[in-house]
Amino acid sequence: MTPFIRSMFVVARRDFLAIVATPTFLLFLLAPLFMVAMGLAGGMGASQLADSARGAGRIVAIADAADVEALRAADRRLRDAFTRGEAPPPLEYRIAGPDAPAPLAITREKGTDTYAVMSGPLESPHIVERNAEGSSGRYLNLLANQVLRDRAAGDVAPAKPRFESIQRGGTSIAVQQSLGFGAVFIIFLLTLLLAGQTVSSLAEEKGNKVIEILAAAVPLESVFLGKLLGMLGVAVLFIAFWMIVAMGGGLIAATQVDPAAIAAAGKAGKATAALASMPATGWPFFLGIGFAYFILSFLLLGAVFLGVGAQAGSVREIQMLSLPITIFQVGMFSLSAAAASAPGSGLAHFAQIFPFSSPLAMAARAATDDAKAVHLLALGWQAIWVALVIFLSVRLFRSGVLSSGSGWKFWRRNKAVLSAAAAAQAASSQSH
Amino acid sequence: MNDFSVEANGLTKYFGNYKAVDHVSLAVPTGSIYGVLGPNGAGKTTSLRMTLGIIDPDEGTSRLLGGQRPQSVRHRIGYLPEERGLYPGMKAREAIAFMGALRGLDWSEGRRRAAGFMTELGLERVIDEKIRKMSKGMAQMIQLIGSIVHAPDLIVLDEPFSGLDPVNQERLEMLVRRERDRGATIIFSTHVMAHAERLCDRIAIIARSARRFEGTVDEARALLPMQVRYTPRTAGDPAAVAANLPAGAELRDDAWHFAIQDADVEPLLARITASGHGVTGLSISRPALHDAFVHIVRQVDAGFDADATEDAVEEASA
């Protein structure tokens, strides 16, 4: 091991342990739990709201007693074509007669929303509807037509369909693209959550003056890289922890749930469809390269943030920097997401070549394009940029922060220049 | 083979257009203890930082341990910065091992040596204590141990004595001598003359950004004439006594104080003996390093006061 690598690991080890061996880290590690809990609570609330809203609505048909049964049969048949969410609100019946309520009176009944009311003879129904663009009125019209047709046609034997699903092996382009998008999103989310911390990681050393010990003992490049590696270690630990939790949870769930239920769910579930489909490069390669791109995305953005944060003089400045940093990350995400949805386009190529969006965009490419060698090229290209960013950050840090005398603050030098110049001017004007 | 552990030539550093260090050269013989003395803000720290390659000089070069670039011999150097800094969350033993590891020392060996040093310096109570629980002086001793734990060939200590109590100052002096006996070369900066006087083989005095003196402590003291304190036995007419003494002799309490050149000692004794005023007290001594230092710094300051423009710049940037 060269001294450079060794000192890099010394710094990385210190940083990693200093972060992990604190109670705060536990909070950090478990933070997604809050997110999941909140998500679940919110999701349940939302679905309950949707359920209750759906339960509250109805459509009403005022029909002769003789027609009600025909309407009911037609309604049952038509509803078969809809899935649960798309179906019209439940249909209620009122018997037409002298004491039947007027359609408008029905719409004003309390306790439930009435979207449409049909009255009059089926040949010329009078439909009152709340929303002209809504489907409820048209559905009632369709129903009336259906009953009339039934009557005219008499008894017709129902069709005997034979359903067969489209073969799953040949993955559709759309699914591959959404896999690519998923990869972009996951890498982005993880980098957003984890890489932003590097911005403040040199603040500690500047605050407690350890930076001079480090600067004297080892090359600054290895300090920067070591810090980055330490943070990467924390990030990988974080991901590994949640992977294990997720896999453990999945195993427990699999033993608890009846296989038949899974099979039944599998027929309808979109997620299982995506799982059953394949990224263009195959699952093992896709996952592996995805992880590699996460690491490079982390290193690239982390190096930028580390370099920017190293220039900051105070905690306040670092806090101010977090907004542009987040926006920068979101920008890279948008670019890569756009690229993921248009593989092969000029935009996609730009996103794949531009160093800071390259890991995201290339991960997406792995989902849709089965070429593998290009990823090696991309990883190398991104690694060069990591080195370049570190190199530049160190240059800036050396010339800006370290050279500014005893204060170790980069603004001091300029101030000294200004005041010295002002004093010199004052002195010379005095002597005249 | 080179006899100098440090060869810095013409180091110059500008902060803006203020010359913080002006052509400072240092040549430190291998195996010696070397003091860099100077008033506050004279440029000692900046000179040391440039010597060690922590900051790049605008002009001049620094070669260490036999003509090598400072960056290439990092693992053979120990450095205690002027601004002390340790990770407050680290335990003392770990902090020392960490600093050793940065210089290429094995972690476990670093921990072992840390315990040894700490026990020796009376710090065994706090070996596994976190830095943030320690007093400032204790933390400073920890950092000092950390900067020599890897047995470096060149040890650079920036103001090592400031902030230490007399007992710890004594221990530090002991440690410095022992490291020298081990074969290391030691440079330290200070503005407390007593330590330099006791420890240093050679000193450099830096004032107003430039080196104003270089040599042994005795050579520095020889810059000023010897100081005489004379108390006559008979309390006679002061004017009569003064007639035998060099011009400028001052009577304070019962004693006369004046300075004389080396060559004038014997004639003076002859005159005093002959005068018949008698002697109850007579001391002829070299001035302390302190006086030589103040003398040199005042001379430099006087030179600067003549130039008002430069002075204004100096003050504005101070």
Q: What does the pLDDT look like over A93-139, one tens digit per residue? A: 888 877 777 888 888 887 778 888 888 888 888 888 888 887 888 88
Min Cα separation A17/chain B (Å): 10
* ipTM associated with this complex: 0.80
Segment 161-220 of chain A within 8 Å of chain B by CB: 204-205, 208-219
Nearest one of A349, A362, A369 to A295, comparing CA atoms: A362
What does the pLDDT average to over A292-317?
Answer: 86
Ranking A62-66, A200-204, A394-398, B161-165 by mean pLDDT, the lowest is: A200-204
In the prediction, which pLDDT does B33 show? 93
Higher pLDDT pick, B118 / A199: B118
- Rounded to the nearest integer, the mean pLDDT of chain A is 80
In the prediction, which pLDDT does A348 show? 87
CB contact under 8 A, A423 and B315: yes
pLDDT over 90 percentage in chain A: 8
B270: its two tokens: 């002859």
Distance CA(B292)–CA(B5), nearest Å, equals 27
Rounded to the nearest 5°, which phi and psi values hold at B112? -65, -50
What does the pLDDT average to over B292-303?
Answer: 84
In the prediction, which pLDDT does A276 show? 59
Contacts of A418 in chain B (CB under 8 A): 16
Q: DSSP secondary-structure letter at B243?
A: T
pTM comes to 0.74
Tokens 């290391």, residue located: B184
Residue A414 has pLDDT above 70, yes or no: no
In the prediction, which pLDDT does A410 show? 38
What does the pLDDT average to over A291-301?
Answer: 90
Residue B210 has pLDDT above 80, yes or no: yes
List, as one string, the DSSP characters of B137-177. HHHHHHHHHHHHTT--SEEEEESTTTT--HHHHHHHHHHHH
In the prediction, which pLDDT does B304 show? 74
In the prediction, which pLDDT does A277 show? 64
CB contact under 8 A, A212 and B54: yes
pLDDT over 70 percentage in chain B: 95
B78-130 pLDDT, tens digit per residue, is 999 888 888 888 899 999 999 999 998 999 999 999 999 999 888 888 888 89
A5 touches B: beta carbon within 8 Å: no
Q: Could you tell me whether strands B226-231 and B281-285 are parallel, antiparallel, or unpaired per DSSP bridges?
A: antiparallel
Contacts of A421 in chain B (CB under 8 A): 16-17
A173-193 pLDDT, tens digit per residue, is 777 888 888 888 888 888 888
In the prediction, which pLDDT does B80 show? 92
A347-375 pLDDT, tens digit per residue, is 888 988 898 888 888 888 888 877 888 88
pLDDT range class, residue A259, cuts 50, 70, 90: low
CB contact under 8 A, A14 and B98: yes
CB contact under 8 A, B74 and A218: yes
Ranking A200-214, B148-162, B164-178 by mean pLDDT, the lowest is: A200-214
Nearest one of A133, A138, A149, A120 to A61, comparing CA atoms: A120
CB nearest to B16's CB, from A6, A11, A420: A420
A7: its two tokens: 């000192």
pLDDT range class, residue A170, cuts 50, 70, 90: low
Higher pLDDT pick, A53 / A374: A374
A22: its two tokens: 């604190």
Containing B232, the helix (H) or strand (E) segment is none
pLDDT over 70 percentage in chain A: 84
Higher pLDDT pick, B275 / B235: B275
CB contact under 8 A, B313 and A408: no
Interface test with B, best of A213, A417, A419, A430 (most B CBs within 10 A): A213
Distance CA(A129)–CA(A111), nearest Å, equals 18
CB contact under 8 A, B85 and A212: yes
B103: its two tokens: 């210089």
In the prediction, which pLDDT does B112 show? 93
A406 touches B: beta carbon within 8 Å: yes
Residue B4 has pLDDT above 70, yes or no: yes
In the prediction, which pLDDT does A415 show? 41
In the prediction, which pLDDT does A272 show? 53
Min Cα separation B164/chain A (Å): 19
**What does the domain layout of chain A look like in residue ranges?**
3-50+172-419, 57-165
CB contact under 8 A, B104 and A402: no
Residue B46 has pLDDT above 60, yes or no: yes
Rounded to the nearest 5°, which phi and psi values hold at B205? -110, 125
pLDDT range class, residue A408, cuts 50, 70, 90: very low
Higher pLDDT pick, A424 / A35: A35
Distance CA(B6)–CA(B205), nearest Å, equals 16
Ranking A19-23, A55-59, A277-281, A414-418 by mean pLDDT, the lowest is: A414-418
CB contact under 8 A, A405 and B52: no
In the prediction, which pLDDT does B111 show? 92
pLDDT over 90 percentage in chain B: 22
CB contact under 8 A, B45 and A408: no
**Closest-CA residue in chain A for B20?**
A405
In the prediction, which pLDDT does A385 show? 92
